[in-house]
Homo-oligomer: A and B are copies of this chain.
């Protein structure tokens, strides 16, 4: 889409959000009044104020960069969000739709009719259309495709043929290609004729007559080298490139490691078919770390914070249900020892300590391992070493904190044997937490799943049931 030069934010984003909220409040106050006094002669005055407020809000919005408007839409509850959305100039709709999160985009699209959606999508590039296509009404997509030329239509189809997260679905098609047998002078003249270069053009792609990638000419080299030189003398012949079926996150990590800004995408015959740019990769890096956080807590996907209660329930119910099952199992473990608890009720008060500290410690271990896995630092070769280390940490923690709580138990219930059982149970449960903290994510990965998936729920399940069993078991054996 058209590129807007970002301007220096004179005020922080939080400030601008606050201003919009303030204008919205004023607007709503007036609206309430108008409503209440309907049919009276105050009417006209109020609707004037009303219009003035909206005009001021609109002026405010017009000054803002599309990305900032998108941010403000994200931070507003549904009704306010739609009020703001209706005030945004039609020609900016497309830019803003591309900036907002999926959850918010859905709410905005639901508020637009087909005609408006078509207008917003008309200026989009093929890759942008492909990103949005799945969320648009079928006949709108159909009409849009009709309006494209053959090459653009082919590109949309190609982008749609890849799975979300694959390089092919992330690439754009805004490449500047040149031949290797021309001089830099010719390249410079060619660029001048283009009038405008695509965003993130830090290199030009050198292709032969069949479109096969021969190398890249970094703009930096174009600028510092003698214009008489040939492209072939100056270009880099072995650049980092990607295939469309590669995993996008792997590409993002390569961008991060090699400090790339753009990179060619080639098919299996070496033909240039698109390019990746750092802005898409940054989005991916952020999404990936977010899904790690969400997955660990047992949330399925990003949730618009003002989503309806119903939507939130759908997002959260699955892991809560699993948690219900694991909690029930822990409860049955306790049920096995009801006789012991009846004889020594102190056990009921002490058992959650063993389970709780085990859960906390296990969560620390699993968080470390999931993080290391996300950074590709864990190979199967070093599993046993990791387990040994975590067992070491668990052992020391068990002895130290188990010792402390053992002494406390002795002081509270005046029974040294209860204290010893408490300490022993803590040591054993922390060892269990360490072991499972390594094995759970490893097993998930071996099963081809995300290692963070519900990691927290699972480790807590183990340390709860395990902790109750160990503590009550030891107590039944040695105290009763």
From residue A463, how far is it (CB to closest CB) to chain B in Å?
11
The verdict on A38 contacting chain B, using a C-beta distance below 8 Å, is no
Chain B residues with CB below 8 A from A192, complex form = 223-226
Q: Are A258 and B65 in contact (CB under 8 A)?
A: yes
A215 CB → nearest B CB, Å: 11
Contact yes or no, B334 A349, CB < 8 A: yes
| Selected contact of A68 from candidates B257, B324, B405, CB within 8 Å | B257
Q: Is the CB of A74 within 8 A of B377?
A: yes
Chain A contact residue count (CB 8 A cutoff)? 138
Q: When the two chains form their complex, are residues B21 and A381 in contact, meaning their CB atoms are under 8 A apart?
A: yes
Taking a contact as CB atoms under 8 Å apart, the answer to whether A357 and B327 are in contact is yes
How many copies of this chain are found per oligomer? 2
Tell me whether A58 is interfacial, beta carbon within 8 Å: no
Interface check A127, CB cutoff 8 A? no
Task: Report the minimal beta-carbon distance from A346 to chain B, rounded to whole angstroms.
Answer: 7
Closest B-chain residue to A261, C-beta based?
A: B261
Show 24 A/B contacts (Cβ-Cβ < 8 Å), sorted by A.
A6-B260, A65-B257, A67-B258, A71-B376, A192-B226, A196-B220, A197-B223, A199-B259, A261-B278, A294-B371, A302-B371, A305-B377, A305-B389, A313-B397, A323-B357, A323-B360, A324-B404, A331-B352, A331-B353, A341-B341, A341-B348, A352-B355, A352-B468, A456-B456
Contact present for B65 and A389 (CB under 8 Å): no
Q: Do A396 and B352 touch across chains, with their CB atoms under 8 A apart? A: no
Stretch at the interface among A82-90, A137-145, A148-156, A235-243: A235-243
Closest chain B residue to A467 by CB distance? B352
B-contacting 9-mer, from A106-114, A115-123, A314-322: A314-322
List 10 additional A-B contacts (Cβ < 8 Å) besides A305-B386, A341-B345.
A13-B253, A65-B258, A68-B257, A191-B223, A197-B224, A219-B219, A261-B261, A289-B292, A293-B293, A305-B372
B18 near A75 with CB under 8 A, answer: no
Residues of chain B within 8 A of A319, CB atoms compared: 360, 364
Residue-wise, chain A 226-269 has the 8 Å CB interface mask toward B (1 for contact) of 10000000001011110000000010011111111100000000
The interface of chain A, by Cβ under 8 A from chain B, is 5-9, 12-14, 17-18, 21, 65, 67-68, 71, 74-75, 77, 188, 191-192, 194-197, 199-202, 219-220, 222-226, 236, 238-241, 250, 253-261, 278-279, 282-283, 285-286, 289-290, 292-294, 296-299, 302-303, 305-307, 309, 312-313, 316-317, 319-321, 323-324, 326-328, 330-332, 334-335, 338, 341-342, 345-353, 355-357, 359-361, 363-364, 367-369, 371-372, 375-379, 381-382, 385-386, 389, 392-393, 396-397, 401, 404-405, 408, 412, 456-457, 460, 464, 468
